[in-house]
């Protein structure tokens, strides 16, 4: 098949709005298209009609789903196309607020009960159970299921193998050695309760006054808690420490990161595989993160960690950065190196192709190149 172009079809459930899944799809498309003899088509379940999606399945050589599109899955299997589905969230949503190791059947039972209790009306219950049935049917059809993090893979805990495949990230050129002269920290994300921005306020309040006067925290993002967090910052006397930047583009985020001592991600929910720590690592910036979900994976082994909701431990990690900035900068350098080894485009493409047994679809030189990445 190396004498003709190999056509990959990438599906996602969103439109053009910003989301982690859309970021993944666009990154994977660029990574695949960098290989000679490969072309990629992206389709959205939300914006592209069913007929167009089914036609695209027919003309594709490989189908890569990123949500439970049952019609595309059925079509791919009938046409004997290699079919993969990457899960960007745990299969059963009961793992979002907290994580307890359970078998797949145990977790599925929890979700069935949760739907019954949550949805009081029969019609709403019916729709919820129908969506669950679609997820189960799609999973049964997919030949090569995978997840975006080892955490998400563990959440399945089923007899069938669910493989972790890294999300590709473009780390750009190395910014080189950094010098930071301010105790500046950055949060990037949705301003909502589960992201834990208020925990940063708690930690800053607990800093010794001599240190607190030197610390500044930049908050990039918007969301339902935006106004409440601004009010809280004022009421707690933190306006000299906290500055709200609003929603930024990725280039603007990278620019802000390059001036910071560390990035802070105090999430309260089980993040599947957040990209922001990778953005920080790309700029040689170390992350301070809560131990939840896949956040510890993308933050990498050189991050500073604290237990979820523990403002005292977060304060201590901020103090470590302030008191030993040279160590924080070195950990940022190491974070970039570790992240590239795990999440670079070459690594992600190699893992995808290998997981589906499709090495023969690509020119031998490409497979050999990927194996040495």
Domain range summary for the chain, segments of one domain joined by +: 6-168+344-371, 183-342
* pLDDT of 369 over the 50 cut: no
Confidence tier at 1 by pLDDT (50, 70, 90): very low
* pLDDT of 329 over the 60 cut: yes
Share of the chain above pLDDT 90, in %: 82
pLDDT of residue 35: 86
d(CA 103, CA 101): 7
**Average pLDDT for 301-319:** 97
pLDDT of residue 364: 54
pLDDT in tens, 29-47: 999 998 888 999 999 999 9
Check: CB of residue 149 under 8 Å from CB of residue 348. no
pLDDT of residue 365: 39
pLDDT in tens, 70-93: 999 999 999 999 999 999 988 876
pLDDT of residue 17: 59
* pLDDT of 367 over the 70 cut: no
CATH architecture of the region 183-342: 3-Layer(aba) Sandwich (3.40)
Length of the chain: 373
pLDDT in tens, 120-176: 999 999 999 999 999 999 999 999 999 999 999 998 998 888 999 999 999 999 999
CATH class of the domain comprising 6-168+344-371: alpha beta
Neighbours of 215 (CB within 10 A): 22
pLDDT in tens, 181-237: 899 999 999 999 999 999 999 999 999 999 999 999 999 999 999 999 999 999 999
Q: Which letter, b or e, does each residue of 281-318 get, where b requires 16 or more Cβ atoms within 10 Å of its Cβ?
A: bbbbbbbbbbebbbbbbbbbebbbbbebebbebbbebb
Q: What is the pTM of this model?
A: 0.88
Q: Would you say the CATH fold of 183-342 matches that of 6-168+344-371?
A: yes
Strand partners, 44: 12
pLDDT of residue 181: 87
Q: Average pLDDT over the chain, rounded to whole?
A: 91
Give the residue from 162, 64, 166 showing the smallest Cα distance to 107: 162
* pLDDT of 95 over the 90 cut: no
**Average pLDDT for 273-297:** 96
Confidence tier at 366 by pLDDT (50, 70, 90): very low
pLDDT of residue 90: 85
Q: Which letter, b or e, does each residue of 70-95 get, where b requires 16 or more Cβ atoms within 10 Å of its Cβ?
A: eebbbbbbeeebbbbbbbbbbbbebb
* pLDDT of 2 over the 50 cut: no
* pLDDT of 305 over the 50 cut: yes
pLDDT of residue 363: 55
CA 212 to chain centre: 31
* pLDDT of 372 over the 70 cut: no
Listing from the earlier edge strand, what are the strands of the sheet with 304-306? 242-246, 215-220, 183-188, 262-265, 286-290, 304-306
**Between residues 125 and 19, the one the model is more confident about:** 125
């Amino acid at each position: 098949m190396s004498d003709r172009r190999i056509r990959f079809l990438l599906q996602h459930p969103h439109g053009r709005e910003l989301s982690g899944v859309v970021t993944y799809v666009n990154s994977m498309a660029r990574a695949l298209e960098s290989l000679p003899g490969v072309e990629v088509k992206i389709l959205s379940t939300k914006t592209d009609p069913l007929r167009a999606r089914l036609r695209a399945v027919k003309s594709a050589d490989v189908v890569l789903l990123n949500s439970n599109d049952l019609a595309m899955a059925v079509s791919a299997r009938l046409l004997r196309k290699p079919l993969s589905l990457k899960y960007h969230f745990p299969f059963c949503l009961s793992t979002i607020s907290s994580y307890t190791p359970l078998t797949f059947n145990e977790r599925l039972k929890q979700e069935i009960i949760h739907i019954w209790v949550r949805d009081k009306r029969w019609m709403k219950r019916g729709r919820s159970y129908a969506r669950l049935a679609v997820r189960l049917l799609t999973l049964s059809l997919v030949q090569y299921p995978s997840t975006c993090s080892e955490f998400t893979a563990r959440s399945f805990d089923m007899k069938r193998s669910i493989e972790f495949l890294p999300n590709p990230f473009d780390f750009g050129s190395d910014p080189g050695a950094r010098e930071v002269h301010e105790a500046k920290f950055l949060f990037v994300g949705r301003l909502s309760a589960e992201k834990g921005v208020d925990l940063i306020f708690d930690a800053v309040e607990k800093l010794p006054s001599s240190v607190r006067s030197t610390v500044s925290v930049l908050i990039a993002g918007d969301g339902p808690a935006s106004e409440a967090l601004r009010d809280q910052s004022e009421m707690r006397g933190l306006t000299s420490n906290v500055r709200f930047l609003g929603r930024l583009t990725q280039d603007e985020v990278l620019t802000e990161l390059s001036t910071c001592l560390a990035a802070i991600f105090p999430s309260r929910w089980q993040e599947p595989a957040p990209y922001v720590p990778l953005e920080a690592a790309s700029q040689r910036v170390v992350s301070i993160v809560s131990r939840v979900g896949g956040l510890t994976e993308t933050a990498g082994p050189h991050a500073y960690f604290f237990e979820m909701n523990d403002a005292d431990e977060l304060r201590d990690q901020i103090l470590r950065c302030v008191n030993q900035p040279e160590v924080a900068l070195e950990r940022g350098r190491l974070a970039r190196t570790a992240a590239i080894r795990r999440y670079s485009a070459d690594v992600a493409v190699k893992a995808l192709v290998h997981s589906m047994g499709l090495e023969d679809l690509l020119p031998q030189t490409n497979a050999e190149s990927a194996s040495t990445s």
